[in-house]
Amino acid sequence: MILEGGLIVFINAVAARLLGVGSIEAALGTAVTSYLPPADAQATVERIGRMMRTGEVMPANEYGVLAAPERTVEIKAMKWEWQGRPAVLAFARDVTERKALQQHLVRADRLAAVGTLAAGVAHEINNPLTYIQLSLQLIESALEKLPEMPEGVPDYIRDAQHGIERVAAITRSLRMFARADEAPPCPVDPVPVLDRALEIVGHDLRHRARLVRRIAETPWVIANGSRLEQVLVNLLLNSIQSLRGREDDTITVELCAAGTEHVALSITDTGSGISPAVRERIFDPFFTTKAVGEGMGLGLAVSKSIIDSIGGQLELTSTEGTGTTATVTLRAHEAPPKVVEPDPSIGEPRRVLVVDDEARVRELLGIVLGQFHDITVVDGGEAAIAAARDGQFDVIVCDVMMPGLSGVDVHKQLAAVVPGLERRIVFITGGTFVTDVAELVSATGNRVIQKPFDVEQILAAIAETARAAL
Ligand SMILES: Nc1ncnc2c1ncn2[C@@H]1O[C@H](COP(=O)(O)OP(=O)(O)OP(=O)(O)O)[C@@H](O)[C@H]1O
Ligand SMILES: [Mg+2]
C-alpha cells in the first residue's frame, strides 16, 4: 500500500484484507491509522513523520488491527515517490502464526529448564524427607515400648506422617513434570490404587465433604500404579479445593467398565465448577486460579501427560456453580492377571550392605534395618565395592545418585568383581533427574524404591530380593 500524508492512495487486495477493509475502493482516501488500535496508531504517526523527515528506512514493526484483535500484522515501510509527490510505501504481512510459534518455543524452552530444576529440587528434598520418615518411625516404635502413650502423641505423629505424604506427593509431581522416571505400563488393579489415593487425601477430605464410593467389578487396567495414584490424588485435591463449605458437599468416586475394552474412573464434586474461559487453560502447565502457595498449576498438566503416556484419556466436564467431573479412561487388561501377593513377611535375618552418600539416611537405615538384619553401612560406591569383595552379603541397599561411583556403576562393577551379587541390589532413589540414569536403572531389572519410603517397604524388598536370589 502507498500512503500520502497518512492517507491510503494505493492498496492491493491482500493489504486491504489484512487491515480488515471491505474493498480496495473503500480503503482509498482513508487514514491508515483508523484501522489500528490507538497506541499503534500513535506509533505509526510518529514513524511516518520520522521517515518523511529523515528518509530513513524503518525496521519492520508489529501492529494489532482493530478488525481482528487476535491477529498480528507486520508492516515494513520506506519513503517513496508517488506521482511525483513524497509518499510512504508499506508492505503488510500477517505474522500471527509465526508469533505464536515463537512464543511456544520460548515457553517450551523455559519449561524444559524449569523441569530440570524442579526434578533437581525434588531429588534434594527426598533425602531429608527419607530420614524424617525413618526417624518418625523410630520415635513411634520407641513410644510403643512405654507403659503408657503420652496423650495426643499418636495424633501428632499421624499429622507429621501426613505432612510427609503431602511433600512426597509434591516432589513426585515435580519429578513427573520433568518426566524423569518413566516406567512401562503394566496390568494394575485399580481398586487398591484408588483406595491409597483416598487415604492420602483423607486428612483434607475429612469434615469437608461426604465421600461416596461406587466401585463396580471391573477388569484390571493398563497403567503404572504409582503414577495413576498420583493422578487420582491430583484430581481428588482439585475437587476438595473447589468445595465451598456447603452442608451437603459430596465427592463421588466411581469405577466402572466403559464398553468392553476400557475402564473409567471418575471423581465428581459439588464444588465451584469451572468457567468456560478457565476451562480452556486447565491443562496448561503452571496455569492456576489458586492463591500463591495454594497451587502451582501443575496438577492437571502432569496428570494429563501421565494418562496420555499410558494410552488413556483424561477429561473434565463441569458446570459453573454446580460441580465438576474428572474422568480417567484406561485400557482394560484382557485377562484377569494372576494375583501375586507380595509376601509382606520380613523373612530371615540377612546380611545387608547399605550404601548412601547422605549420612543421616544411611545411619537411620542402619538403625531401623538393624532391628531385623545384620547391617553394614558405607558412604559411597567405592566403599561398597570394597566391602562386597571382602564380605558376604545377601542384599545390597544402594542409593542411585552418588558422587563418584553411582548406583548404576556399582551394579556394573559388582557384575565383574562378585558376579551374581549385582542382582541382589535394591536401589533407593530420590528421583533420577537425568533420564539416561533412570533408563539405566530400570534396565538392570533390579528393585527400585522411591524415597521417601517406610520401613515396611524396604524390609519387603530386602526379603524378596534375598529369596529371589536363592
Ligand atoms: N474439580 C475442579 N473444580 C473447579 N476447578 C477446577 C477443578 N479442577 C481443576 N480446576 C481448575 O483448573 C486449574 C488447574 O488445575 P491444576 O490441578 O492443574 O492446578 P492447581 O490445582 O491450581 O495447582 P496444583 O495442582 O499444582 O496444586 C485450577 O486452578 C482450577 O481453577
Ligand atoms: Mg490441582
pLDDT in tens, the chain (470 residues): 999 989 999 999 888 988 888 889 999 999 999 999 998 899 889 888 888 888 887 778 888 888 888 888 888 888 888 889 999 998 888 888 877 777 766 666 666 677 777 777 888 888 899 999 999 988 988 898 899 888 899 889 988 988 898 888 778 777 766 655 556 788 888 998 898 889 878 888 888 999 999 999 999 999 888 788 889 999 999 999 999 999 999 999 999 999 989 999 999 999 999 999 999 999 988 889 988 767 778 889 889 988 988 889 999 999 999 999 999 999 998 755 444 444 556 778 899 999 999 999 999 999 999 989 999 999 999 999 999 998 889 999 999 989 999 999 999 999 999 999 999 999 998 876 566 777 788 888 899 888 888 888 899 999 999 888 66
Distances (CA, A) of 435 to 60, 120, 215: 42, 12, 37
The answer to whether the beta carbons of residues 241 and 324 sit under 8 Å apart is no
Select from 167, 235, 282, 292 the residue to mutate for testing ligand 1; criterion: most ligand atoms less than 8 Å from CB.
282
Atom of ligand 1 nearest to the CA of 302: 18
Phi, psi (degrees; rounded to nearest 5) at 275: -75, 155
Q: How far is the C-alpha of 135 from the C-alpha of 185, rounded, in Å?
A: 33
Distances (CA, A) of 365 to 75, 130, 224, 358, 411: 67, 9, 27, 11, 20
List where CATH 3.30.450.20 sits in the chain.
2-94
Nearest ligand (C-alpha, residue 298): 1
List where CATH 3.30.565.10 sits in the chain.
183-340
Q: What is the pTM of this model?
A: 0.51
CATH number listed for the domain at residues 351-469:
3.40.50.2300
Query: What residues does ligand 1 touch, defined as CB less than 6 Å away?
Result: 234, 238-239, 242, 269, 271-272, 274, 278, 282, 287-290, 295-301, 324
Pairing of the two strands 186-188 and 221-223:
antiparallel
Nearest ligand (C-alpha, residue 281): 1
Nearest ligand (C-alpha, residue 242): 1
Question: How many angstroms is it from 287 CA to the middle of ligand 2?
Answer: 10
CATH number listed for the domain at residues 2-94:
3.30.450.20
CATH number listed for the domain at residues 183-340:
3.30.565.10
Q: How far is the C-alpha of 462 from the C-alpha of 308, rounded, in Å?
A: 34
Coil/strand/helix, residue 379: coil
Pick the closest to residue 305 from 286, 279, 283, 278 (CA basis).
Answer: 283
List where CATH 3.40.50.2300 sits in the chain.
351-469
The answer to whether the beta carbons of residues 400 and 450 sit under 8 Å apart is no
Atom of ligand 1 nearest to the CA of 324: 1
Contacts 24+ apart (CB under 8 A), 293-298: 294/241, 295/241, 298/173, 298/174, 298/177
Q: How far is the C-alpha of 435 from the C-alpha of 265, rounded, in Å?
A: 30
Q: How far is the C-alpha of 172 from the C-alpha of 174, rounded, in Å?
A: 5
Ramachandran category for residue 92: left, alpha or beta (phi over 0 → left; psi -120 to 50 → alpha): beta
